[in-house]
Structure 1
Amino acid sequence: MRRAPSTERARQARPAAGLPELLRQVRYEVLPARSTEEKVLGHVGTDVTVTVTASPVKGLEPTLDLATRLAGHGYRVVPHIPARLIVDESHLAEVTGRLVAAGVEDVFVPAGDADPPAGKYAGALPVLQRLGELESPFARVGITGYPESHPRIDDDVTVQSMWDKRAHATYIVSNLCFDPKVLGGWVRRVRRRQITLPLHVGVAGPVERTKLLSMATKIGVGESARFLARHTSWFLRFAAPGGYSPERLLTGTASVLTDPEASVAGLHLFTFNQIAETERWRRRMLERLGPG
């Protein structure tokens, strides 16, 4: 029996109805530049979680400094603690103590890009294990997922890595993806592997191409910018008419992202420090979508 047109339209609209909640449960990834604190204070409410990247060129200090200051302003802050920037156990204990003293309760632990590593850690798992030995000082610990293929690591390895780290983490943040089919397929694949950690889906915000290109070519400004720099073909998606749009990515994957079995906790927006523009876009999206 053929479904009535009105019923079909209602069926198709239901997944998008869940997007407002994901847009409210949002995290903004920012780069620790000189103007970042002012931009966050000027445009982002303290109800939005702010994550702060780390650079193998500049080291952890700018990340720790900005995270501490933003926490002092009342923000929920998530500093990135790349394993390859940690020298040894005493360095990790020092970083941990500093963040705990600042009231930080959440950290994101990727492997990082420093080559060679600053010390003994080449990957995230040993750092996660060491945090457990330090009596798990953070209530929440995030790890990385890769919907798009990692430039240096096989897809099966990245999924296996999430499995290996799941006991030491509380959530996953997916890296950038521009293809709804790839993103949706990856979420399903992760869940089929019985990786059940809540997922924050990484989405590039409404980034203006020339600003993004300028940011990505400044080596050392952040892991997300360098990741984009390795995928120069992606810039064509920003430049071409009808190219990348965060709205299209979200609506194209709405049925997956809003499925309760996907356990998507919210969106992780890569701002590339276009913070005001990202917040305006989010608020416009919420207005268009309605209460959800």
Structure 2
Amino acid sequence: MRNKDVARTMVRLLEQARYEVLPTPTTEDKVLEHLPRDRTVTVTASPSKGLEATLDLVERLTGHGFVAVPHLAARMISGRTELAEIADRLTGKGITRIFVPGGDSEPVGDYPDALALLEDLAALGHPFGHVGITGYPESHPTIHDDLTVQSMWDKRRYATHIVSNLTFDPAVVSSWVRRLRSRGVRMPLLLGIPGPVERAKLLAMATRIGVGESTRFLVKHKGTFARLAAPGGYTGERFLEKCAPALGEPDALVEGLHVFTFNQIVETEAWRNDLLVQLHNRLGG
């Protein structure tokens, strides 16, 4: 792929970037002050805060004019009755997009995984027009790689797109996308990348999530800290440049980025805008 083709692919992905945030007391103010209303924001769910914190923030951001996407972690929902109540609540506020991970906690009820919840959503009449599921370019701590691909195949009837988990290896991304498509998984993909967060801030955020969840967070993202700390290590620009040839292929069906901000919202939006300016300059204006 030529340099300008790489730049065009990067511009397309950055222009279609959405931001993942955590529902802390300061998140709403940061989003309102620093993000344009056309930026899609997804809100995580954690057992330490409870699902109410997620739903409440999503409703408030929606009221401010944002497209806000709640993470409905399957293991945090007790069963079809609660799911129906959540669906009615969200759709009543005009919320049509959700993201359904399995979640890191032990199941509180009927849903051991995302697929079980997705099946019940279908039984409830598919109340949401856009339903995202998780993809794992790198090995999941507790699930074999082949099972993660099979899981996406199983969920293809219920979901509209895939959101990839964090990875830092462009070769892994390219291989994973090829595997997905060769298995017939044709859902559009949003590539998950970390925003420009410093290692110390990332560690501090992990410890604030909650004692039990911090351990799981560190296990899931242990490579994050080493790569962010290494001299000349990971940068989003270099990562995207190396991924661009594979992501620019028509069959890749990669629509944009899912940026893990770790609530560094100001820094993430500044990084995205600065990189877009650089790329447009590279393309000649």
TM-score (norm 2): 0.94
Per the alignment, residue 119 of structure 1 pairs with 109
* Aligned counterparts of 1:190 and 1:273: Cα–Cα separation in 2: 30
Does the CA-based 8 Å contact 2:137-2:164 persist in structure 1? yes
Q: Kindly provide the amino acid, as one letter, of the partner of residue 67 in structure 2.
A: R
CA contact (8 A) 2:141 2:219 kept: no
- Pairwise mapping of residues 72-111 of structure 1 onto structure 2 (< 5 A)? 72-111=63-102
Structure 1 residue identity aligned to 2:94: G
Alignment of 1:151-170 (within 5 A): 151-170=141-160
Distance (whole Å) between structure 2 residues aligned to residue 96 and residue 224 of structure 1 = 29
Q: Is the 8 A contact 1:216 1:226 kept in 2?
A: no
Pairing of 1:158-197 with structure 2 (within 5 A): 158-197=148-187
2:156 is paired with a residue whose SS is: helix
Offset of residue 12 of structure 1? 4.1
1:52 counterpart = 2:43: yes
How far apart, in 2, do the equivalents of 1:126 and 1:229 lie?
25
Equivalent residue, structure 2, for 1:67: 58
Q: 1:274 aligns with which of 253, 264, 268?
A: 264
> What is the aligned-residue identity percentage?
57
Q: Does 1:208 align with 2:203?
A: no
CA contact (8 A) 1:54 1:223 kept: no
Deviates more, 1:128-137 or 1:269-278: 128-137
Give the distance between the partners of 1:34 and 1:181, measured in 2 at CA.
38
Distance 2:220 2:163 in 1: 20
1:265 to 250, 255, 271: 255
What's the offset of the Cα at 1:226?
Answer: 4.6
Q: Do the aligned partners of residues 271 and 180 (structure 1) sit closer, same or farther apart at CA in structure 2, a change above 3 Å counting?
A: same
Determine the C-alpha separation between the residues in 1 that align with 2:224 and 2:118.
32
Q: Is the 8 A contact 1:43 1:279 kept in 2?
A: yes
8 Å contact kept, 2:41–2:67: yes
Give SS of 2:172's match.
helix
Distance 1:233 1:173 in 2: 19
Q: Tell me which of 217, 223, 239 is aligned to 2:229.
A: 239
Please report how far the alpha carbon of residue 279 of structure 1 lies from its aligned counterpart in structure 2 after TM superposition.
0.1
Name the SS of the counterpart of 2:65 in structure 1: coil
Match of 2:133 in 1: 143
Counterpart residue type for residue 253 of structure 1:
C
Structure 2 contact 134–163 (Cα < 8 Å) conserved: yes
Deviation, 1:221, is 9.5
The answer on whether the counterparts of 2:100 and 2:114 sit within 8 Å (CA) in structure 1 is yes
Pair 1:255 & 2:216 matched: no
Unaligned runs of 5+ in 1: 1-9
Deviations along 1:145-196, one digit per CA (max 9) or x if unpaired, are 0011111101000000000000100000000001111111111111111100
Residue by residue over 1:22-67, the C-alpha shift from the partner in whole angstroms, topping out at 9 and shown as x without a partner, is: 1111110000000000000011111110000000222201000000
Return the alpha-carbon distance in structure 2 between the equivalents of residues 16 and 34 of structure 1: 37
Q: CA RMSD in A?
A: 1.9
Change (3 A) 1:209 1:36: same
Q: CA 1:223/1:129 → structure 2, altered by over 3 Å: closer, same or farther?
A: farther
Contact residue 55 and residue 222 of structure 1 kept, 8 A:
no
Q: How far apart are the structure 2 equivalents of 1:224 and 1:262?
A: 34
| Contact 1:215 1:225 (C-alpha < 8 Å) held by counterparts | no
Q: Does 2:5 align with 1:14?
A: yes
SS in 1 for 2:257: strand
- Give the TM-score, by structure 1 length: 0.92
C-alpha distance 225-245 of structure 1, shift in aligned 2 (>3 A): farther
Aligned residues: 282
Show the counterpart of 1:26: 17
Taking structure 1 as reference, are residues 224 and 273 closer, same or farther at Cα in structure 2, changes over 3 Å only?
A: farther
